[in-house]
Amino acid sequence: MVSSPDAFRFEVHTADAAPALVGGLFNPFAGPPEGPPDDGPPPPTTELTATLDGASEVPGPGDDDGSGMATVTITGTTLTFSFTVANIDMPTAAHIHEGAAGVSGGVVVDLLGNGTLTDNGDGTFNAEGMVEVDAAIASAISNSPGNYYVNVHNAAFGPGAVRGNLADIVQG
């Protein structure tokens, strides 16, 4: 059988069915049956942070005493975010914009439109959420985080109350 497996046939019979229920030829090249497709390794994860303040707003002015902290995690095309801001009026919008420090740029990711905002009742606000982004945007932010910034807007400061450029989280 090893030297000429195609010369042999297999059949399955039962006591109730004299003809074969199933059958076939041996195929030495078939190998094991295929399992689920291999999707490869999981996508890399990028963890970023931004320190937010009014002085970083371009063009200013931002909220002079406003401050905050944002974190952004990108895995594949999934962007997860959270931020806390203090000493500003209720946020009306928050985005990731393209632009290095000192440069104003266009919106590339809408944050508040894809998350929840909580008024903590003590002059601080928290937001968190998740959004699917274009693969090119995810890659660009992950590879050059300093060219992107988190901007939190409110009614008093429409162009932005607080802003901070993204940076890799330093482990250690």
Q: For residue 34, what pLDDT is reported?
A: 65
pLDDT tens for each residue of 41-84: 888 899 999 999 999 999 889 999 999 999 999 999 999 999 99
32 in a domain, yes or no?
no
H/E stretch holding 140 = helix 135-143
65 in a domain, yes or no?
yes
**Average pLDDT, integer, range 74-100:** 97
Query: Residues 6 or more apart from 9 whose CB is under 8 A from it?
Result: 23, 24, 25, 26
> DSSP letters of 8-48?
-EEEE--SS-SS-SEEEE--TT--SPP-S----SPPPEEEE
H/E stretch holding 141 = helix 135-143
Looking at this protein, which amino acid is placed at residue 166? Answer: L
Rounded to whole angstroms, the Cα distance separating 163 from 50 reads: 8
| Tally of structural domains, the chain | 1
139 in a domain, yes or no?
yes
Indicate which CATH number applies to the domain containing 118.
2.60.40.200
Closest CA to 146 of 96, 110, 112: 96
100 in a domain, yes or no?
yes
Q: For residue 127, what pLDDT is reported?
A: 98
- State the residue range of the domain holding 98: 45-168
